[in-house]
Amino acid sequence: MHRENRIYHETQKGRGAPSNDVSQRFNLQDREIDGDWLDERERIDDAAAKLRTEVTIEFPKSIINYNTSPDLPFDRSINAYRGCEHGCVYCYARPTHAYHDLSPGLDFESKLFAKLNAADLLRQTFAKPNYQPACIAIGTNTDPYQPIEDHYRITRQILEVMLETRHPVVITTKSKRVVDDLDLLAQLARQNLTAVAISVTTLDSTTARLLEPRAPTPARRLEAVQQLSEAGIYVHVNIAPVVPGITDHEIESIVSAVAGRGAKSVSFIPMRLPHEVAPLFEQWLETHYPDRKAKVMSIVRQMRGGKRNDPAFHSRMRGQGPWADLIRTRLAIASRKAGLGKAKVALRTDLFKRPLIAGSQLELF
């Protein structure tokens, strides 16, 4: 029997990317699944055929990432994990997996890395005499409260260091797991040392399941907004990303819903499709919304200067053209009606106290 090598395109249940089949940078080889395996797949138990999540433990030498981007409100960030099990098909962080010779497709959401020494590295960094405190952002690349946080608790350990040293921190997440650390966040908030941004893409559970298969449902995110707000924590909601032709009709509904749960401010970011994310998203459209693919990609190009992605500072976060202007206007009107404003978070840095490190000379005093 003749067999040919072919890419496995069938959508994996509970996964966002349709495949690993995207054009790769850094000489990454295409992932092909052996034809014999495909032929045998029907003869084995379905559970054995499911894509499993693998976690690799790593011990980096530094934990704070610094940036000079003029369109970001922070100059430093921490990412406890590489890759993200939420599987959001639109995730702009997917291309970073190519640096590890892994695919930004299914590999990004199933082959993860956990930085177990993150809290220790952070404490050592804060103890350095030349370290100057400024707000640290957590969750800017991959979600700090993705499912594996339940086991590793790296984000919680980082927050414990923040509380110990009274260091300001902001968190971005789309997970209700953030309320697991409500005890720490409430203490930080009482000293004006923290704020939380919850990402809400859609209120429709069916759409969310396709876009963000392993992220908590929209209803649970709204619950998180309310619980955090009731605990005295500043909550900002980011409608991120706005997916044209798929979720953009929900802007007013989302603003109204989060305002009713206690959010203080709201913003949006139009969908970004850098590098390998663009072909992955087009595969996803072909799988789930083939009738809308041409329309969606047309609007994307209109907001991105005729291309699928615009990496330029400022415009990458705002979009351009009539469609982006319309979304901005709609959000402003909806926010005004709901009594929400732009984010105004000024966290304190004057409370910072350097930690004591075992064996340091400071221990003598």
Structural domain includes residue 195: yes
- pLDDT tens, residue by residue, 219-233: 999 999 999 999 999
Structural domain includes residue 27: no
Block residue for tokens 């295409």: 30
Structural domain of residue 212, as residue ranges?
51-346
Structural domain includes residue 243: yes
Structural domain includes residue 86: yes
- pLDDT tens, residue by residue, 263-281: 999 999 999 999 999 999 9
Decide the pairing of beta strands 169-173 and 81-82: unpaired
Structural domain includes residue 211: yes
What lies within 8 Å, CB to CB, of 354 at 6+ separation is 126, 127, 129, 131, 165, 362
- pLDDT tens, residue by residue, 57-99: 999 999 999 999 888 889 999 999 999 999 999 999 999 999 8
Note whether 259 and 339 are within 8 A (CB).
yes
- How many structural domains does the chain have? 1
The CATH code of the domain that includes 271 is 3.20.20.70
Compute the Cα dihedral for 13, 14, 20, 22 and give only its sign: positive
Mean pLDDT taken over the chain: 88
Structural domain includes residue 257: yes
Give the integer Cα–Cα distance in Å for 90 and 94.
8
- pLDDT tens, residue by residue, 10-57: 456 666 666 566 555 545 444 333 333 333 444 444 544 477 899 999
* Backbone φ, ψ for residue 322 (5° rounding): -60, -40
Q: What is the pLDDT of residue 345?
A: 85
Structural domain includes residue 159: yes
Structural domain includes residue 362: no
212: left (phi over 0), alpha (psi -120 to 50) or beta: beta
Q: What is the pLDDT of residue 10?
A: 43
Question: What does the DSSP assignment read for 68-108?
Answer: --TT-S-SEEE-SEES-TT--TT-TTGGGGGGGT--TTHHH
